[in-house]
Amino acid sequence: MTKSERTDNRKLDEIRPMKMKIGVIKRADGSAEVEFGDTKVVAAVYGPRQIHPRHQERPDRSVLRCRYNMLPFSVSDRKRPGYDRRSTELGKVITESLQPALFLEEFPKTAIDIDMEITQADAGTRTTAINAASLALAHAGIPMRDLVTSVAAGRANKKLLLDMTKEEEDAPDAVDLPVAMMPRTGKITLLQMDGIVSPEDIEKIVDIAEIGCMKIYEMQKKALLEKYSS
């Protein structure tokens, strides 16, 4: 792919700058902060630990519980604190995108809790939250089949693009397709989409997202390596 007229001068298959910091929350068992363009997410993991309320306990596995929360000042118009339907949905969707990478059956009767706080919200909060959570899980020493890596691809102004900006998301023909995957097996664990598109184009957009995931995967591995070699 070649250089495009994207609003921020990125190439079609280029992601925004990404920074990763591991171990940012001292009391948590694992934590990470990921900046992705103007999106910023802190994720922290507690667990495996005793589960409250007790009726959520499962005899044969650990229960993974993810909270996705936007801080009141992370968006232009202040967001009232507290849950809404969107955060409930995203908590669930993120749980299901991380769960395939975990060995939950090895920690029966426990909970693994992940708190993801969006401190600055631009495009891609859910995918950035997944990337941060994945690093936090690794930092907590929780065994994983693979890191989970996430980014969105889509279409805007008739072009298929990796990692769309907010402006591109507002294009009349915009399609936004966030993906999460376990790069080693290529298994896709998150797939959502809004916008009208042919099934063939969906396949192409998933391919583009995969390219992005592979890049982020390398950065995740590097960040972990640096953390443990320092």
Whether residue 180 contacts residue 190, with contact meaning beta carbons closer than 8 Å, is answered with yes
Nearer to other proteins, 11 or 49 (CB): 49
Whether residue 211 contacts residue 162, with contact meaning beta carbons closer than 8 Å, is answered with yes
CB 3 to other proteins: min, Å:
26
The pair of structure tokens assigned to 30 is 């694992």
Nearer to other proteins, 4 or 195 (CB): 195
CB 220 to other proteins: min, Å:
17
* HEC-encoded secondary structure of 134-165: HHHHHHCCCCECCCCEEEEEEEECCEEEECCC
CB 180 to other proteins: min, Å:
9
Chain residues in the site for other proteins (CB under 8 A): 25-28, 31, 38, 40, 42-44, 46, 49, 52, 67, 69, 71-78, 81, 83, 85-86, 88-89, 91-93, 96, 99-100, 113, 115, 117, 119-121, 177, 181-182, 185-199, 202-203, 206-207, 210
Stretch (H or E) spanning 160: strand 159-162
* Distances in whole angstroms, Cα of residue 170 to Cα of each of 7, 90, 176, 194: 12, 21, 10, 12
Nearer to other proteins, 207 or 218 (CB): 207
CB 141 to other proteins: min, Å:
16
| DSSP helix/strand/coil, 43 | strand
